[in-house]
Structure 1
Amino acid sequence: MIIKPQFKLKEYENGLYLVSTPLGNLKDITLRAIEVLQQSHYILCEDTRVSKNLLDKYQVKSKLISNHKFNEKKNVIKIIEFLKSGKIISLISDAGTPSISDPGSILVNECINNEIKIFPIPGPSAVAAAVSISGFSDKFLFCGFLPDKKQQLSNELKKFSEFENSLVFFISPKKINKIIPEIKKNFEGRKIVFCREITKIYEEFIRKNVNELELFEKEPKGELTVVISEKKINKNLSEKLTESDINIIKKMINKLSTKEITEILSQSTNVPKKEIYNYCLELKNEK
């Protein structure tokens, strides 16, 4: 398949282009992404073998430069020199959006320091894809890859468990059974979705209640994107009216009805409506 560029090369400004690439299915790439890759002088990629499959499919002949977590610091000076000389350079990862839990942030910051223009070319995202099918709150915290060391892992998950909205993180199949006991300990009562091989032939979404989680009998194939549901607040366990709440009620008690005050205050506190309502009645009866 050959995609003909819509613009001449001079139409593109020189600079660094962060190009999102397919998660697995090679058809999940934008026409603009192909066009930018075709017109780049150099393409930085994690694994040239992986990227070559995509680039060959779309007849991209640009020169590849290996750029992974072990050599990205070493590459920076050379890449900055290329960019300063007027080259167009694209940065891609093996899958998804570069610099998001993948190499790229070091180069991006160096470009910022050197006032070199950076252009995002959006596309596939494992995080957005996983959240979209989870059924959980679309307000979420992306945690990236979690720490390897047991104590650090435990501390991180304990901290994240206080976050009330959904959580998303990546985990390798080799580490999934190591993390499951910590998830059960810190996220009791929540739901979880394991997303595996997104957009690929063996795509799979495993939905569970955290309390019912068990270790995987066989190591799953492919990196996992994991989504944990939002934290449900039990209003029966919420605090009593605070001094601040009481002062607010006293200011409104002669201006609004008990029902109106209850509705207003319940939006900014976890105190049960019944308790707010009863307190309002007590104040009105005292007058």
Structure 2
Amino acid sequence: MSEGKVFLVPTPIGNLKDMTLRGLEVLQNADIIAAEDTRQTLKLLNHFSIRKTLISYHKHNEQTKSEEILDYVEKGKVIAIVTDAGTPGISDPGAVIVEKCIENNINFEVLPGATAITTALVYSGLDTTKFQFRGFISRETKERKKLFQDIREVTESLIFYESPHRLLSTLSLLCEELGNRRIAVCRELTKLHEEIKRGRIKEVIEYFSEKGIKGEFVLVVEGKQQEEIENENKEKWRDLTIEEHIILLVKEGLSKKEAVKKVAKDRSLERNIVYKVSTELEI
């Protein structure tokens, strides 16, 4: 009996020409294709003249179907996992089967391919050296509150998915919680009506309010900028004494000498005045 295996196969996020040659090879050679939506996957397979047995594999049956898939693999079958678009396991079914494969020492392979995350990030023109992908923003108040507690101070670019009917409310929420930051709203990536709208969040809200909203969206929001951090730091000392101001800066990592210099600059004081205060501090 041949050795079974699971393949996670990315599919195009819009343009069918983005299907990789290797991905097609796996689909052609698989015994069974487990699809998030068999009707959607059938369109892809028909386009490339691939005829295979399809089974349903989505978020509502992922746990039970994963066990079924492992049974197939143990019998020597090759199973390809696909979602409607993009890479399985990224805001789509796939992570569960990976966990179960690892737990049961089952051979699996993840193919590289299409994902809206990196496409949108590069399109955005924002910082690509570090970023956080946060998926869809929860509708639950408690979870939303925790999300913004987590990301409010983050300096990395932030990436979100959003549906058309929630776009404006999500943009308003981002502006309220993070401020009027720069953003790139990427619509219908790789499709015929692809559009990238860049600007400040309020500008983008106005644009889509007037234009109307269709399609699927990826939002890339800039992280907290150094200027914003510095402005906040300036405000910290306004209710502090000179002594407390010096101590605060030393605790943040400045040397005593550097702290004296900065306090004098922040407060528009002569440096010798601040220095005299600092000599009385045991820090």
Q: Do these two structures clear the TM 0.5 threshold for a shared fold by scoring above it?
A: yes
Structure holding more helix per residue: 2
Structure 1 residue aligned with 2:135: 144
1:242 is aligned to 2:250: yes
1:26-62: CA deviation from partner (whole Å, max 9, x where unpaired)? 0001111100110000111111111112111222222
> What is the deviation of 1:153?
2.4
> What is the deviation of 1:244?
7.1
2:5 to 7, 15, 24: 15
Distance 1:83-1:182 versus aligned 2 partners, 3 A rule:
same
Identity of aligned residues (%): 36
What is the correspondence of 1:27-106 to structure 2 with a 5 Å cutoff? 27-106=17-96
Residue identity opposite 2:179 in structure 1: E
Q: Does structure 2 retain, via aligned residues, the 8 Å contact 1:30–1:123? A: yes
Distance 1:81-1:219 versus aligned 2 partners, 3 A rule:
farther
CA-based RMSD of the aligned residues comes to 2.7
What is the correspondence of 1:92-241 to structure 2 with a 5 Å cutoff? 92-138=82-128, 139-214=130-205, 216-217=208-209, 220-234=213-227, 235=230, 237-238=232-233, 241=249
Distance 1:87-1:167 versus aligned 2 partners, 3 A rule:
same
DSSP-derived class of the 2:69 partner:
helix
> What is the deviation of 1:214?
2.6
Residue identity opposite 1:185 in structure 2: E
Q: Does structure 2 retain, via aligned residues, the 8 Å contact 1:20–1:121? A: yes
> What is the deviation of 1:72?
1.6
Q: Does structure 1 retain, via aligned residues, the 8 Å contact 2:175–2:181? A: no
Between the two proteins, the alignment pairs up a number of residues equal to: 249
Tell me, in whole angstroms, the C-alpha distance in 1 between the residues paired with 2:186 and 2:110.
26
Structure 2 residue aligned with 1:6: none
Tell me, in whole angstroms, the C-alpha distance in 1 between the residues paired with 2:60 and 2:66.
12
Distance 1:213-1:159 versus aligned 2 partners, 3 A rule:
farther
Residue identity opposite 1:179 in structure 2: T
> What is the deviation of 1:113?
1.1
Tell me, in whole angstroms, the C-alpha distance in 2 between the residues paired with 1:129 and 1:61.
30
Tell me, in whole angstroms, the C-alpha distance in 2 between the residues paired with 1:67 and 1:246.
55
Tell me, in whole angstroms, the C-alpha distance in 2 between the residues paired with 1:198 and 1:246.
46
> What is the deviation of 1:221?
2.0
Distance 1:182-1:154 versus aligned 2 partners, 3 A rule:
farther
> What is the deviation of 1:152?
3.0
TM-score normalised by structure 2 residue count: 0.79
Distance 1:67-1:244 versus aligned 2 partners, 3 A rule:
closer
TM-score normalised by structure 1 residue count: 0.78
DSSP-derived class of the 1:205 partner:
strand
Residue identity opposite 2:181 in structure 1: R
> What is the deviation of 1:157?
2.8
DSSP-derived class of the 2:226 partner:
coil
Select between 52-61 and 211-220 the one with higher mean Cα deviation. 211-220
Tell me, in whole angstroms, the C-alpha distance in 1 between the residues paired with 2:35 and 2:167.
27
Tell me, in whole angstroms, the C-alpha distance in 1 between the residues paired with 2:56 and 2:250.
59
Distance 1:104-1:245 versus aligned 2 partners, 3 A rule:
closer
Tell me, in whole angstroms, the C-alpha distance in 2 between the residues paired with 1:213 and 1:225.
13
DSSP-derived class of the 2:186 partner:
strand
> What is the deviation of 1:243?
4.7
Distance 1:72-1:165 versus aligned 2 partners, 3 A rule:
same
Residue identity opposite 1:228 in structure 2: V
Distance 1:117-1:135 versus aligned 2 partners, 3 A rule:
same
Distance 1:159-1:243 versus aligned 2 partners, 3 A rule:
closer
> What is the deviation of 1:210?
2.0
Runs of 4+ in 1 over 3 A off after TM superposition: 215-219, 235-241, 243-247
